[in-house]
Structure 1
Amino acid sequence: MSQNILEVKNLKINFSTFAGTVQAIRNVSFDLRKGETLAIVGESGSGKSVTTRSIMGLLASNAQIKSGEIKFKGQDLLKESAKEMDHHRGNDISMIFQDPMTSLDPTMTIGKQVAEPLLIHGKISKENALKRAQEVLELVGIPNARARMKDYPHQFSGGQRQRIVIAIAIVNYPEILIADEPTTALDVTVQAQIIDLMRELQEKLETSIIFITHDLGVVAGIADRVAVMYAGKIVEYGTVDEIFYEPRHPYTWGLLSSMPTLDIGSHKLASIPGTPPDLLDPPQGDAFAARNPYAMNIDFQAQPPFFQVSETHYAATWLLHPDAPHVDPPAAIQRRFAEYQKLLQAGQVENPIEGSLNE
């Protein structure tokens, strides 16, 4: 098993607002192994971005980290000074943000912006930094990179701007790359190109990736493991196959059932009723109980612990308790599982979900 490069333990983050204290992150724990891609999935407001921004030390001024550890190669980043975090940020750990136009400076040429992280960290001379910038722009697939280094962000397409943002993030060859919904603003064809690019870069640079998204189709194409977040907590995590074909949490069932595929046929696309809870006053029991068609009395009374499904698969749902009644997953989940079993028996390794989305 690969060594953990990042370990987040029992992280709790609150936000002070005029309405009161929002308990945004509630006892989140996960790890990231060297060279792997961990996808964090969930609805808007589930806590995905707040969790990863805390790793970078980029939380808003009204945020308070109440407890927990964020260990990078054994060092707790929450105990690091501002100067030490400046060294890590953009050097050891980099981030790709969702909208490239807000990430790029419209008044600076692309070459200078890609070279800037090298100069900030004082690694090489300006001349060599510009040479490295050209190499990285070529690496991420910018045509005629040498000439285009003198161009400005508005002279590039949306997909090219996202490639430039990726170039800025990897120019220092970071050990961890956090991608915060990097394909959301792009069309489907460009999304696929960016996903392929990130896979290629990971192989070449041996970078570990945390990929934040609400798009489960994207997860199927890039992730090794998946953590599903809801209302500031991780409710299920496992390998990508376990989450897609043998999910155990009703929230994961809902997310997968609402994901369109080309083979959906006459089956009605499902949706998750209701809205996430107000984290100014989190519910006493399972935060998903009010939206869960399979909820039992205990779901409204106590938060479920994590139950182990396999060595790599855990889910926080009372349905896994030995005394809970048997509940079959929705028909859409059963169809995917049956398809997966057929592929296993045939000895095929292709991901049928990925294929159905990208055909």
Structure 2
Amino acid sequence: MEKLLDVKNMHVSFDTYGGEVQAVRGVNFSVNKGETLAIVGESGSGKSVTTKALMKLIPMPPGRIKEGEILFEGRDLAKLSEKEMQKIRGKDISMIFQDPMTSLNPTMKVGNQIAEGLIKHQKMSKSQAKARVKELLELVGIPDAENRMKQYPHQFSGGMRQRVVVAIALACNPKLLIADEPTTALDVTIQAQILELMKDIQKKTDAGIIFITHDLGVVANVADRVAVMYAGRIVEIGTVDDIFYNPKHPYTWGLLGSMPSLDAEDAELYAIPGSPPDLLNPPKGDAFAPRNEFAMQIDREQEPPLFKVSDSHYAATWLLHEHAPDIDPPEAIKKRMAAMASTGSGKGDRV
């Protein structure tokens, strides 16, 4: 597969009165054309900062890309000026934000908001843009598009507003689509429709997608690969089957164990003790060590590298060292893994 995006050793920091907050600390990942990479983790793990940094949407200052490369089709976005980035945002890379009401201008008609990108990036005339807006609204499943494009955001339901945001993101046929928890505020039915829409459009355009979510059920249905983030780092990355059926990092075990399942025999959920670290002063060694019941002395002294599990699967845990003790996931997690395997919740059963 052709590589679309390649992020190498990216560090993102925010300078505050209290000091430097190291929000993203040496992240590496790639996205191929036509591929969906899901980034998962608790709130504050660095998911949204990572993807906003790709588009240089973090406020600078106080935010800054401290180190690393963001290679998009071989071009390092980290070195581009704001004027150069404006030519890429919306055209080559688009983003669907979590809350459509903060993404849409309440004083502008929906049609005009979608047309903006078409006129700026595609150099369309107003009449051409109007015809394309109608096509886009129909594409995302909004009926009576001719009249709806003349209405304001408050005249749309939550699900319809999110469809409008998707239409804006797709207007210029981007090569990379970043979706930052795009279905969190929607009910299950509308959520499924939006996810189905994104996958359908991806098949038609061969776009790469980065999907940020905390919902592992969504991940199982949409992703090809999964990156698990904790304390500003990717602690495990692999295919959907790697992460769901053969997780290696204790943090990934905790995330899977906390996921409700109707098929698990034991209804009790696994709870990860403690809370994420303060990235103003990141802990020495493995940041997850204070919450890890399987932590060893080395976890408190040295940060683990990404150990290779297979050609597609890597995890940053000292448990994978050749001299580490052989430790299995907790029983609650094993039950959920067995339940997922029995119902085919992995890659083979995606929408």
The one-letter code sitting in structure 1 at the alignment partner of 2:55 is M
Q: Is the 8 A contact 1:244 1:256 kept in 2?
A: yes
After TM superposition, list the pairs within 5 Å mapping 1:1-359 onto structure 2: 2-60=1-59, 61-338=61-338, 350-351=344-345
Provide Cα deviations, 1:51-94, integer angstroms capped at 9, x if missing partner.
11111110112012111000000000111122211110000000
Aligned-pair CA distance for 1:339: 5.3
The one-letter code sitting in structure 2 at the alignment partner of 1:125 is S
The one-letter code sitting in structure 1 at the alignment partner of 2:323 is D
Aligned-pair CA distance for 1:267: 3.3
Provide Cα deviations, 1:184-226, integer angstroms capped at 9, x if missing partner.
1111221111111111111122111000011111101100000
Provide Cα deviations, 1:91-116, integer angstroms capped at 9, x if missing partner.
00000000001111111111111111
SS of equivalent to 1:272:
coil
Between 321-330 and 75-84, the greater mean CA deviation after superposition? 75-84
Provide Cα deviations, 1:134-167, integer angstroms capped at 9, x if missing partner.
1011001001111211111111111110000000
Q: Is the 8 A contact 2:261 2:339 kept in 1?
A: no
Q: How many residues are aligned here?
A: 350
Q: Is the 8 A contact 2:37 2:210 kept in 1?
A: yes
Distance 1:262 1:196 in 2: 23
Between 325-334 and 46-55, the greater mean CA deviation after superposition? 325-334
Distance 1:221 1:106 in 2: 33
Structure-2 residue corresponding to 1:346:
none
Distance 2:156 2:264 in 1: 37
TM-score, normalised relative to structure 2: 0.96
The one-letter code sitting in structure 2 at the alignment partner of 1:43 is E
Between 93-102 and 59-68, the greater mean CA deviation after superposition? 59-68
Aligned-pair CA distance for 1:15: 0.5
SS of equivalent to 2:210:
strand
Distance 1:70 1:341 in 2: 36
1:256 to 1:337, Cα distance in 2 relative to 1, 3 A: closer
Q: Is the 8 A contact 1:101 1:161 kept in 2?
A: yes
Distance 1:293 1:326 in 2: 14
SS of equivalent to 2:22:
strand
Q: Is the 8 A contact 1:261 1:353 kept in 2?
A: no
Provide Cα deviations, 1:260-285, integer angstroms capped at 9, x if missing partner.
01123433111111000111111111
Distance 2:332 2:308 in 1: 23
Distance 1:342 1:215 in 2: 20
1:353 to 1:9, Cα distance in 2 relative to 1, 3 A: closer
Aligned-pair CA distance for 1:338: 4.1
SS of equivalent to 1:88:
coil
1:202 to 1:326, Cα distance in 2 relative to 1, 3 A: same
Q: Is the 8 A contact 1:98 1:180 kept in 2?
A: yes
| Structure 1: gaps (5+ residues) | 344-349
The one-letter code sitting in structure 2 at the alignment partner of 1:30 is F
The one-letter code sitting in structure 2 at the alignment partner of 1:25 is V
Q: Is the 8 A contact 2:94 2:177 kept in 1?
A: yes
Q: Is the 8 A contact 1:245 1:336 kept in 2?
A: no
| Structure 2: gaps (5+ residues) | none
Identity fraction in percent: 62
Q: Is the 8 A contact 1:106 1:153 kept in 2?
A: yes
Compute the RMSD of aligned alpha carbons: 1.8
The one-letter code sitting in structure 1 at the alignment partner of 2:220 is A
The one-letter code sitting in structure 1 at the alignment partner of 2:345 is N
